[in-house]
A and B are shown apart, each in its own frame.
Chain A
């Protein structure tokens, strides 16, 4: 049973550029959440997708956007990159409707903005 997968593993971008990160949820899961983990910090919630719609959003600017596809996979897009966007981006999947909010995390994509 494949867990949560993310691609790419590492990414280096320049300020002002745009980036797209990808996530495939654990088999059987239908909800995807994205988190940003800056160096030395805990993960911060960006947003959550279910049924191809953004359901919840954390305190992140509109430069951060996402998408969920019919197969439940998801993308995170960040426009006009800033140095402060350098972080580990974690994708977590869960099964909506199942109590406990148990989220399974992927290995993350490490984004470096120069």
Chain B
């Protein structure tokens, strides 16, 4: 079985500040990990993915995430927040031959002036 925990359902940062969205996973086999972003009334867009290659993964829009096996974490960061980053962010895990994704409950990012 696999699961994802996203700490903090709401995160608020000032424009230009560091963005840190937390994700911890549980998996009995080596995981594949993903971050998706969802803007209001839209579907999910893939930000980045970890697939057992480099532990530091760079994605679109300046986001990156680091896979830490010892901490079972895959936190999402961005050095400088922009107003357009305001959205809902979901961490997801997939494992083995099961290509279904298990999602966390999401973190709503608010960016203030």
With A105-B43, A105-B44, A108-B43 as contacts: A48 and B100 at CB distance below 8 Å: yes
* Interface check B26, CB cutoff 8 A: no
* Interface check A68, CB cutoff 8 A: no
Q: Does B42 lie within 8 Å of A107, measured CB to CB?
A: yes
Taking each of B4, B51, B94, B101, which has the highest tally of chain A beta carbons within 10 Å of its own beta carbon?
B101
Chain A: number of interface residues, binned into ranges: 20 to 34
Q: Does A56 lie within 8 Å of B100, measured CB to CB?
A: yes
- From B32, B43, B44, B106, contact of A41 by CB (8 A): B106
Chain B interface mostly helix, strand, loop or mixed?
strand
Q: Does A102 lie within 8 Å of B103, measured CB to CB?
A: no
Q: Cα distance A41–B103 when bound, in Å?
A: 9
- From B32, B36, B49, B99, contact of A48 by CB (8 A): B99
Q: Does A102 lie within 8 Å of B46, measured CB to CB?
A: yes
Q: Which 10 A-B pairs give the minimum distances between C-beta atoms?
A: A42-B103, A105-B43, A105-B44, A45-B100, A101-B99, A107-B43, A101-B94, A100-B51, A43-B103, A42-B105
